[in-house]
Structure 1
Amino acid sequence: MKARILTLAVVALISSTLWAQNPIIRDQFTADPSALVVGDRVYVFPSHDIKAPAEYARKDWFCMADYHVFSSDNLTDWTDHGMIVDQWSVPWVNEAGYSMWAPDCKQNPNNGKYYFFFPAGAKTQPGQRFGGNRVGVCISDYPEGPYKPEATPLEGVGGIDPCIFVDDDGQGYLVMPGITITKLNDDWLSISTDPADRHRVEEVPTRGLVEGPYLFKRNGKYYMTFPWAREVEEVLAYCMADNIFGPYKFMGVFFEEHESKCWTNHHSIIDFKGQTYLFYHNNMYSPDFDKNRAACADSLFFEPDGTIRMVKPTLRGIGVTDSKSKIQLDRYTALSGIGDSIAYLEPSNYFAGWKTVFYEKGAWAKYNTVNFAKAPKKVTVKIVPPSAGTLEILQNDNVIATVDVPADRQVITASAKVSGAKKGIHHLKVRMATEGLIQVDWLTFE
């Protein structure tokens, strides 16, 4: 076990960069993404689904043994800063539990340190059959870590999915499923025991599971948002109030069930550089098993009266894509819907990603918000054999290149000269110009 912990510690020192649309993290399962803005970066603290190891009996259930932290300054390129903590490095956590549920992290204004709150299955005590879920805390001087776990969990707090809310006056609150709001003491390692410092939100649906609350404030209004199993799969719904302890008013749903039938959803909401964003998860990387999930993000908007506009999940997601990167056309903004489709590159390895398949003349895929630092001179398209035909590359609906793909199973890239393209942020479209079949992995500009 010591060797395993040492290996994980070494991994935690290694940061890797991931280029992403949706899902935002593309080399591992991530769920319940809790986003935090620190200066000009966004940090995301998700739970970490894994394939159940041999010793874990419940192969049909969630399995989570550690946490990672990711960050980005442009919402497109995400850095994995490594592991925060695992179930083998916290004294009170059940080492065989694999139940490290949705976390949250905020900066404590009292001392400037970062407090990572995480729920986990506790070790059983004498006379117990099940240790129950408790909430622990790790502390760091920096949002990316390293974090040091406290030796004991929060006293008087049980359950999963903690949310930490900091009000305008610097007062911290712990929000738990139920939904309860409790004042944190200044040390953020204990909660107030005064009954006046605790409130249960009663104005939530009584039918269906209500879990994973996330509280935020905007224009003086408190928004209590939460996943809700309205029927079977979870939607995202919310209440609003003028005071943190309410009374709250149920406002309805702002995110419908996933079309993929992913049972759960869990989210966070932040403002970053003038835009509000919703972070959530689905099962894109595990279409046949919704306990292995993938973190995503989309823009969120408000109506003039402050209510939340319905969010429609996208593949394109958020952020500006560099024209020199590998532009994943399959994460499209729009698809013609006639003569095109999206398919996994490798049905046995979903992390390999997707491909865009064109099989009729005139079919197209649009990909918005690409940054051309300079007017490009060349475009290269990564082709998946078998493919043959001609593609047109358009910038803002103007054809800037024509790419011929020969009927050669050995051809994996095809390039063409670019003419008439402009620098700046523009929208791309790739269009099938002939009959045939062309399967596109990605494209890039030089």
Structure 2
Amino acid sequence: MNIKKRPVWLKIAVTVSIITVLLFSYFHFFQNSTHETVENPSNSLSAYVMEDVLVLTQGEETNYEVHIVMNEIPTDIVELTSEIRIPEVLEVTDVILNGEKNIKADHIEFDLMDNGIELQLNNRDDSPIILASHDEREKIVIIKMRLKKELYEEMTDEIKVERLEVVHSDKLSETYDVTGAKSIVNYTPPKTAIGKQPPNGNPLVSHKFGADPYVLVFEDRVYIYATHDVLEYDENDNVVENTYGNINRLSVISSDDLVNWTDHGEIVAAGPEGAAKWATQSWAPAVAQKVIDGEDKFFIYFANNASGIGVLTSDSPTGPWVDPIGEALILRSTPGVEDVTWLFDPAVLIDDDGRAYIYFGGGIPEGQYEMPNTARVMELGDDMVSVVGEAKPIPAPFMFENAGINKVGDTYYFTYCSNFYDGDRPEGSPPPGEIAYMTSDSPMGPWEYQGTILRNPYHFFGVGGNNHHAMFEFHDTYYIAYHAQTLSKEMGVPMGYRSTHLNKVYFNEDGTIQEIKADLEGVESVKHLNPFQRVEAETMAWNAGVQVEKADTNEENNHTTNIVITDINTGDWIAVSGVDFGDGASEFSASVATETNGGMIELRLGHPEGDLIGSLTVTNTGGWNQWKTVSTEVLVEGVHDLYLVFSGSSDHNLFRFEHWKFD
């Protein structure tokens, strides 16, 4: 909403500057000595403000500064005056003559008036004002301003030069037409987060979706791999139901505290450009790590729709990934899977003896709702990219999909999503769409049904769908990752687009699992974030408006491809939780790139409009892939949630942001 304020008039001699970011297009002064306004192209006087737009921030503590520039002052001018309209929210605190560098006059004075400020520029001895340099970008006057009060609502106004008058040495005066000499002044409040509101921990990220989560814990860090849901549209650009048919990428995020999540981008797993070109889709990944020949090796098992399961390998949990066998690992021809309706949704367990097992399957043969008998377990080869023997059935009551496997103590827990059969169920059977579990003393069974642990997402969030999960242990605590349509619901498109959530899992003394309560609150952090080491900009607890993408980063001639924050607009922000500044930090630095005029990063505590601890100006770096590290002074100590709020004069795409650090 735009707020129209009562205008204030600023009279200013010579030319005007209006703080931090204002646009004054060139304007010409026209002579009026014969009562006719006639432009004099041979000796055109022009003046402008260096900045395009004055972008205001919320707090009164921010000072603004703009610069007025003139190209020439006639040699016999002894006085300059001007009137300038400014928004009511601003007050002028000082007007400074740039005398040391360019303009030679010994007297500058401004008086507050009911309608603004009257400023007069002259020499006390009435000698002519001298313009030392004819460089058109030489600053003449600097105007300093501040807000009269904090801003909370969006506003747009303008600063406009209404009159410029010069007095010659013969005491004759001339008034110049300054029509069009104006600047835009605006304030855009920080945007509201969508889908994940501070201080909630769920969903884990809100700048993209992530379904069918699976978890790998490696080197004290949690990696979550997910189906990369993306919005689908019809011919009229309306969002439609997720068909899942176009999904050939997997998403990866990670965290060492379970609150601040780093986006590692997407794995192009299937399709013509994918690692597994034989596959058309990549759904519901499972991930494992194993030391082979003394080296860490990583394995992703994924579903090619429901027709088979493939495998990719890497030397890193974030890739790059390759297809080691060039075909599916599990197909209809695999022994023991002939009667499985859906060959998908794998889970993997590497046992204490080093032997590995893959769990998979789902679907309901005609009429067999109570005991579909479509869950399977099979041993993997030592190389993790082959299978051994024959797949064995797991008699999971009302099985639907989503195999899960964990070993806690000496007990194996097989978990799965129950089907949505709407008829009568025997007492003790799992209700529709819930996570159920079975236990065994062996990874291959036999299995005993125990009950359910997680209700359908509809029970908690008012939006349902399938129920997909993975349990894991981190810092001696068990957690469950599961998906729900909370983000897409908040976006107004609850049409099968899912996001990953986390909650704790509690075991009873007898080994049974307590019922899990899903919520938006999520889990608490297991550690504070260290701001004195490099933090990737795509590490976020919360955000509003931004996106991420891969970009070439060549700072200091070190060419790499990295994930960066992009699509940064005024009012966008990112935030990290629990930043421990210890006894204090004095400097903030950031790696940025832009081919525009850039913008500003405001550093605020606790809220997008919280206490300001520093502001970093970003200027043109020479290109979107030309990265520079810029820094600013700050003053902060203790533990805080840190918000990085973006602003600038451009309508969109201010700059790219790669990483940051405090010192």
CA shift digits 1:383-404 (9 cap, x unpaired): 8xxxxxxxxxxxxxxxxxxxxx
Q: Distance in 1 between matches of 2:241 and 2:522?
A: 31
| Aligned CA distance change for structure 1 residues 423 and 142 (closer, same or farther; 3 Å) | same
Q: Distance in 1 between matches of 2:200 and 2:465?
A: 24
Q: Do the aligned residues in 2 keep the contact of 1:70 with 1:78 (CA within 8 Å)?
A: yes
- Per the alignment, residue 307 of structure 2 pairs with 133
- Structure 1, unaligned stretches of length 5 or more? 1-18, 122-131, 330-351, 354-368, 384-412, 427-446
Give yes or no for the alignment of 1:302 onto 2:507.
Answer: yes
| Aligned CA distance change for structure 1 residues 415 and 231 (closer, same or farther; 3 Å) | farther
1:150-189 to 2 correspondence within 5 Å?
150=324, 151-155=326-330, 156-157=333-334, 159-177=343-361, 178-189=374-385
Give yes or no for the alignment of 1:93 onto 2:310.
Answer: no
Q: What SS is found at the alignment partner of 2:488?
A: coil
Q: Distance in 1 between matches of 2:519 and 2:456?
A: 14
Q: TM-score of the superposition, structure 1-length normalised?
A: 0.63
How far off is 1:68 after superposition?
A: 2.2
Q: What SS is found at the alignment partner of 2:456?
A: coil
Q: Do the aligned residues in 2 keep the contact of 1:225 with 1:238 (CA within 8 Å)?
A: yes
- Per the alignment, residue 65 of structure 1 pairs with 248
Give yes or no for the alignment of 1:200 onto 2:393.
Answer: yes
CA shift digits 1:289-327 (9 cap, x unpaired): 241000111111111111111110121212428699998
How far off is 1:59 after superposition?
A: 4.5
Partner letter of residue 302 of structure 2? F
- Per the alignment, residue 219 of structure 1 pairs with 409
Q: Distance in 2 between matches of 1:380 and 1:108?
A: 42
- Per the alignment, residue 257 of structure 1 pairs with 456
| Aligned CA distance change for structure 1 residues 138 and 274 (closer, same or farther; 3 Å) | same
- Per the alignment, residue 50 of structure 1 pairs with 230
59-68 vs 43-52, which moves further = 59-68
- Per the alignment, residue 79 of structure 1 pairs with 262
- Per the alignment, residue 391 of structure 1 pairs with none
36-45 vs 318-327, which moves further = 318-327
| Aligned CA distance change for structure 1 residues 244 and 285 (closer, same or farther; 3 Å) | same
Out of 114, 119, 125, the residue aligned to residue 298 of structure 2 is 114
23-32 vs 239-248, which moves further = 239-248
| Aligned CA distance change for structure 1 residues 199 and 79 (closer, same or farther; 3 Å) | same
Higher strand share: 2
CA shift digits 1:110-160 (9 cap, x unpaired): 443111111114xxxxxxxxxx62211111011111111242111545711
Q: Do the aligned residues in 1 keep the contact of 2:209 with 2:497 (CA within 8 Å)?
A: yes
How far off is 1:43 after superposition?
A: 0.7
Q: What SS is found at the alignment partner of 1:210?
A: strand
| Aligned CA distance change for structure 1 residues 76 and 326 (closer, same or farther; 3 Å) | closer
Q: Distance in 2 between matches of 1:243 and 1:30?
A: 32
Q: Distance in 1 between matches of 2:381 and 2:540?
A: 48
- Per the alignment, residue 228 of structure 1 pairs with 418
Give yes or no for the alignment of 1:281 onto 2:486.
Answer: no
Q: Do the aligned residues in 2 keep the contact of 1:380 with 1:415 (CA within 8 Å)?
A: yes
How far off is 1:380 after superposition?
A: 5.7
Q: Distance in 2 between matches of 1:425 and 1:179?
A: 47
| Aligned CA distance change for structure 1 residues 180 and 109 (closer, same or farther; 3 Å) | farther
Q: Do the aligned residues in 2 keep the contact of 1:23 with 1:295 (CA within 8 Å)?
A: yes
Q: Do the aligned residues in 2 keep the contact of 1:20 with 1:77 (CA within 8 Å)?
A: no
Q: Do the aligned residues in 2 keep the contact of 1:262 with 1:290 (CA within 8 Å)?
A: no
Q: Distance in 2 between matches of 1:229 and 1:255?
A: 14
Partner letter of residue 147 of structure 1? W
CA shift digits 1:248-286 (9 cap, x unpaired): 111111011223232111111111111111101000111
Give yes or no for the alignment of 1:102 onto 2:284.
Answer: yes
- What RMSD, in angstroms, separates the aligned Cα atoms of the two structures? 3.6
Out of 253, 263, 271, the residue aligned to residue 473 of structure 2 is 271
- Per the alignment, residue 16 of structure 1 pairs with none
How far off is 1:246 after superposition?
A: 2.0
Give yes or no for the alignment of 1:41 onto 2:221.
Answer: yes
Q: Do the aligned residues in 1 keep the contact of 2:288 with 2:348 (CA within 8 Å)?
A: yes
The alignment covers a number of residue pairs equal to 318
- Per the alignment, residue 145 of structure 2 pairs with none
- Per the alignment, residue 57 of structure 2 pairs with none
- Per the alignment, residue 245 of structure 1 pairs with 444
Q: Distance in 2 between matches of 1:326 and 1:182?
A: 38
Q: TM-score of the superposition, structure 2-length normalised?
A: 0.43
| Aligned CA distance change for structure 1 residues 380 and 185 (closer, same or farther; 3 Å) | closer
How far off is 1:374 after superposition?
A: 5.4
Give yes or no for the alignment of 1:30 onto 2:232.
Answer: no
Q: What SS is found at the alignment partner of 2:466?
A: coil
How far off is 1:65 after superposition?
A: 2.4
| Aligned CA distance change for structure 1 residues 380 and 304 (closer, same or farther; 3 Å) | same
| Aligned CA distance change for structure 1 residues 416 and 47 (closer, same or farther; 3 Å) | closer
1:309-324 to 2 correspondence within 5 Å?
309-320=514-525
Q: Distance in 1 between matches of 2:233 and 2:218?
A: 35
Largest Rg, 1 or 2: 2
| Aligned CA distance change for structure 1 residues 305 and 190 (closer, same or farther; 3 Å) | same
- Per the alignment, residue 291 of structure 1 pairs with 496
| Aligned CA distance change for structure 1 residues 272 and 380 (closer, same or farther; 3 Å) | closer
| Aligned CA distance change for structure 1 residues 136 and 237 (closer, same or farther; 3 Å) | same
Identity of aligned residues (%): 26
Partner letter of residue 360 of structure 2? M
Q: Distance in 2 between matches of 1:48 and 1:379?
A: 32
| Aligned CA distance change for structure 1 residues 416 and 143 (closer, same or farther; 3 Å) | closer
- Structure 2, unaligned stretches of length 5 or more? 1-198, 335-341, 362-373, 423-431, 532-538, 544-571, 585-602, 614-636, 642-663
